[in-house]
Amino acid sequence: MDRYDVIVVGSGIAGLYCCLELSDSLKVLLLTKDSLENSNSSLAQGGIAVLRYKEDFNLYFEDTMKAGRYENNLEAVKVMINESQNIIKKLINYGVQFEKENDELKYTKEGAHSIRRILHYKDVTGKEIVEKLILKIKSKKNLYIREYCEMVDIIKNKSKEKNCEQCIGIVVNFNNEKNMIYSNNVVLATGGIGGLFLNSTNKTHIKGDGIAIAIKNNINIKNINYIQIHPTALYTKKSGRRFLISEAVRGEGGWLLNPKGERFVNELLPRDVVSEKIAEEMKKFNSSCVYLSIVHLGSKEIKNRFPNIYKACLEEGYDITKTVVPVTPAQHYFMGGIEVDLNGQTSMNNLYAIGETSCTGVHGANRLASNSLLEAAVFAKRVANLLNNKKINNTELNIKNIENKEYKDSLTINNNLIINEIKRKDEKFYDKWLKHGKY
């Protein structure tokens, strides 16, 4: 029988970091829908925010709250900021590199941040973090990895002691066959919902599977209509994922121009505001895009600071050292998700959620730039700490008679559950951004 102490579903920074922080005494399964490396975390360009010094706390707190329209969970924001320095130290210990100047960490600035507090590695910060965490993951002897294995449901039963439902495992689709995998604890780190959108900067296979499964099983969901549209994705007529042009480009001095070549917005306003202004300008000029210019920064600075963006734009025919590049808003991040407490606990016993699939309330109604990687790591560590201190007794895992018809045909996920919930909550958002989605 396939049984583990902990199952972690998803191999972005949340899932990877959680696995690394779990005790070596636990038998852990890390399961991912695609390859281990193929996550949204690996796409993160701008960086990871951190509290630089104690005096910055109030500013950082206010920046996060203001961007989130003051709908954030205050305690969650405090936890994230207060634990940020320890997370950075741990990432560096895991081998992650960040840019330095004179042997000191070098900080950059992005939209809606009051000061420079963002650490980065060139313009591929997420890729650097994910690669180094994976190297560490593969050295853990208590950890088992299954790639190209899709979770399609959770297994649950009734706890006699607590008189409530509890999660005791997952149902997976592996090679088009159903498999039951049992565990005392399941951690969902399945990512956002970008794959449901026609225009998204997310990986196309990441479609909110964990959230759809939660809705199906009556697990509490929060703020499902809080979806961030990023202002600057590279405009293209091709289908598939949109290439993100990091907010750090505007943070370093990039300009947004309308078809007349005029600046029309403060480029460092929060993402939702800039996206709306771009949409208005596109409508005003009946244009498919606006333009981003960083030519004035100089060729050397552009190639040194944004090598990946420079290369990607060049492949599309745009030399950003010499000309403007067409950009358009695209779905980027999901601030809602499975409702959790400060330790990642969902409304179902033994089921936890972390990263973009969860809703800690940190981001409120709109995420502040470079808080995503930080939030994922902070709350992944808190879940790991909770499980490390939790008494796990395999004899309590009651799996008798669980192989019933409820799971017999569970080989697909109904992602329309998410779409229907979003439409019900926010028809205006649905009509503007989602009605031409992929689903």
Point out the catalytic residue in the list 250, 271, 305, 382. Answer: 271
Count Cβ atoms below 10 Å from residue 435 Cβ, excluding itself.
Answer: 12
Q: 3-state SS string over 247-288?
A: HHHHHCCCEEECCCCCECCCCCCCHHHHHHHHHHHHHHCCCC
Contact (Cβ atoms closer than 8 angstroms) between residue 230 and residue 329 = yes
In degrees rounded to 5, what are phi and psi of residue 411? Answer: -120, -10
Instruction: Tell me, yes or no, if 250 is annotated catalytic.
Output: no
What radius of gyration do the chain's Cα atoms show?
Answer: 22
In degrees rounded to 5, what are phi and psi of residue 298? Answer: 100, 145
The three-class DSSP label of residue 383 is helix
Distances (CA, A) of 62 to 81, 84, 369: 11, 16, 13
Contact (Cβ atoms closer than 8 angstroms) between residue 168 and residue 376 = no
DSSP state of 363: T
The CA distance from 350 to 215, in Å, is: 17
Query: Kind of pairing, strands 337-339 and 358-359?
Result: parallel
Name 105's Cβ contacts closer than 8 Å, sequence gap at least 6.
98, 99, 119
Contact (Cβ atoms closer than 8 angstroms) between residue 35 and residue 148 = yes
The three-class DSSP label of residue 152 is strand
In degrees rounded to 5, what are phi and psi of residue 9? Answer: -110, 110
The CA distance from 245 to 46, in Å, is: 9
What residues are labeled active site?
271
